[in-house]
Structure 1
Amino acid sequence: MVIDSAALTPSRPAASAPALPSTPMDFTDAWLANRRLSAHTRAAYRGDVAGWLAWCAAHELDPLTVTFLQVNTYARELESTPDRRTGQPLAPATVARKLSAVSSWYDFLAKLGAVPANPVAGADRPHVDRDHSATVGLTPAEVDALLATAAADTGPHALRNTVAVTLLADLGLRVGELVGLDLTDLGHERGHRSIRFTGKGGRPRRRALTPTAGYAIDSYLQQRATAAGVGVDTLTGPLLVTAAGNRLDRHAVFRLVRRLARDAGIAAWASLSPHSLRHAFATTARGEGVPLEDVQDAMGHADPRTTRRYDRDRHNLDRDPAYAIWAARSRRKP
């Protein structure tokens, strides 16, 4: 008699496959929850995907069955869409960023098995010059003038504003990193005053505070503590706050940089942003001879090519390595 060995094996209930999200926005929530992102990046990605889903709905397309052809049509329409702030067509970098967010969303869906492949992968994305940035930069003298204007201000928020622009200038922080700072992020490490924060991509970062930044922070926090009738060590919450005690937002920092630049007599004040100070940080650091890899680490760039793009003086002929080669050869001559 042949015994069926399978019949002797206790039966087990089949494992049920995990339930997939039921709507595209549910997919978006799951996708964002799966990634370590800053609040600003999370909001930007959500907006980019929401824009794509709204376009699909307007064209009666199922976003889970579209092809690269529909993505191409969407991209071309984006390229002709006027920017709400400038009235000019969206910059190629903006279109590329939106498509990149949608592509990341589809990569996540593909891993879940909700779509067979990422339709953005085969789409025609706009060319973005990785060697150029549209951000208006600042010279070292202009940064000095902006900081001096902030220091000379006598308004009720003068000390807070000085902290904000000093951290942008001395550390090259992103505006999202700046406004996300909490008092608990301040510290000391191996003789350095330091600050910890979450960088792009959710990566933990730490930087040394310059003496000027440390002094500005101390003065500001002492003012806050005195106004509240408490000791500095009892203050809690965000580092930079409004009059109501709420966290200072990125829009206020944009307005601050432009106002100070205007008051400092900087001609391009209306085109500046907090990112202008980040570009100036990279350019000045490289101009002072700081190695590229150290500037890259300080700015939290994964790719050194990004750091080079921030260095506005990289094509200066004064820095042409031909001079170093010539000088070395001259020293070798008897």
Structure 2
Amino acid sequence: MQEIGRYRPSTVSRRLSVVAGFYRTCVIDGVLVHSPAEYVRRPRVSAESPTLGLSHLQLEAMLTAGRRSSNVNDFALVTMLGLLGLRIFEATGANIEALEEVHGHRVLRVLGKGDKVALVPLPPAVGRAIERAVDGRLCGPILRSRTGSRMDRHCATRRLRALARTAGVSTVRMHPHMLRHTFVTTMLDAGVDLRDVQIAARHADPRTTMRYDRARQNLDRHPNYVLAAYMASGT
């Protein structure tokens, strides 16, 4: 995969993880005595995420372009990816019936990875964008293509690239995950606690969230300053 396919280390590691999990299950079920993948070395994966997110100003430009677009689905798409941090299959798979009121909060019931259900609160701007896209409908997909069918990831990618051109956002290759990546990095840049960002992004492992932290080496955010300020009376 690395020498011929030229796949990234993260891709190779992920695929080997699937193979190792399969053989591990075979051992547990008694189909095999031992796993042939047990001692296979996986390539080292960089601590930095290879995906390039948008800057704060670029995200604002995308939101503005979406809000001004004549296609009501554009603004909902950008907000669901960039302000809610949904994965593309979660956004395109969301239905109107999944919009609920819970303890005074407007929420979207999201079916995520591993068929895990999460309640994602909707900030007012996102709620308004979704209401525009729903346009009085009582059921069916929230995001639709121009033909009225459910929007898929390919349609979403085309819409985002069109919005990027309108907004003057120049990227090597605009794709939906770039906005989810921006959702995480922007919260970390804003000083949101890593644990809270992990919960919002629904990452099972905090190390996944840390890979997005492009300012982890920023000395201005070093915890030494926080501790010194907390203990100021004694120092």
Name the TM-score, length of structure 2 as normaliser.
0.91
Match of 2:98 among 181, 185, 209: 185
Alignment of 1:53-132 (within 5 A): 78-82=1-5, 89-129=6-46, 131-132=47-48
Alignment of 1:1-334 (within 5 A): 78-82=1-5, 89-129=6-46, 131-154=47-70, 158-222=71-135, 225=136, 232=137, 235-268=138-171, 270-328=172-230, 330-333=232-235
Q: Aligned partners of 1:173 and 1:189: how far apart in 2?
A: 19
Which string of whole-angstrom CA distances, capped at 9 and with x for unpartnered residues, describes residues 176-215 of structure 1?
A: 2111111111111111100011122221111100101111
Which string of whole-angstrom CA distances, capped at 9 and with x for unpartnered residues, describes residues 141-199 of structure 1?
A: 11001111112222xxx111110111111111111211111111111111110001112
Shift of 1:122: 1.3
The SS at the match of 1:141 is helix
> Which structure 1 residue ranges, 4+ long, deviate > 3 Å from structure 2?
325-333
Conservation of the 8 A alpha-carbon contact between 1:279 and 1:312: no
The SS at the match of 2:38 is helix
Conservation of the 8 A alpha-carbon contact between 2:133 and 2:143: no
The range that moved more, 324-333 or 189-198, is 324-333
CA distance 1:317–1:271, shift in 2 (3 Å): farther
The range that moved more, 141-150 or 255-264, is 255-264
Supply the RMSD in Å over aligned alpha carbons. Answer: 1.9
Q: Aligned partners of 1:261 and 1:178: how far apart in 2?
A: 19
Q: Aligned partners of 1:267 and 1:332: how far apart in 2?
A: 50
Conservation of the 8 A alpha-carbon contact between 1:102 and 1:120: yes
Share of identical aligned residues, percent? 39
Conservation of the 8 A alpha-carbon contact between 1:162 and 1:216: yes
Name the TM-score, length of structure 1 as normaliser.
0.66
Conservation of the 8 A alpha-carbon contact between 1:137 and 1:272: no
Shift of 1:281: 1.4
Unaligned runs of 5+ in 1: 1-77, 83-88, 226-231
Which has the higher relative contact order, 1 or 2, with Cα contacts under 8 A spaced 6 or more apart? 2
Q: Aligned partners of 2:35 and 2:69: how far apart in 1?
A: 53
* Structure number with larger C-alpha Rg: 1
Q: Aligned partners of 1:111 and 1:294: how far apart in 2?
A: 35
Conservation of the 8 A alpha-carbon contact between 1:136 and 1:271: no
The SS at the match of 1:196 is strand
The SS at the match of 2:13 is helix
Conservation of the 8 A alpha-carbon contact between 1:200 and 1:300: no
The number of aligned residues is: 235
The range that moved more, 144-153 or 303-312, is 303-312
Shift of 1:299: 1.0
Q: Aligned partners of 2:74 and 2:48: how far apart in 1?
A: 30
CA distance 1:318–1:258, shift in 2 (3 Å): farther
Could you tell me which amino acid in structure 1 is paired with residue 191 of structure 2?
G
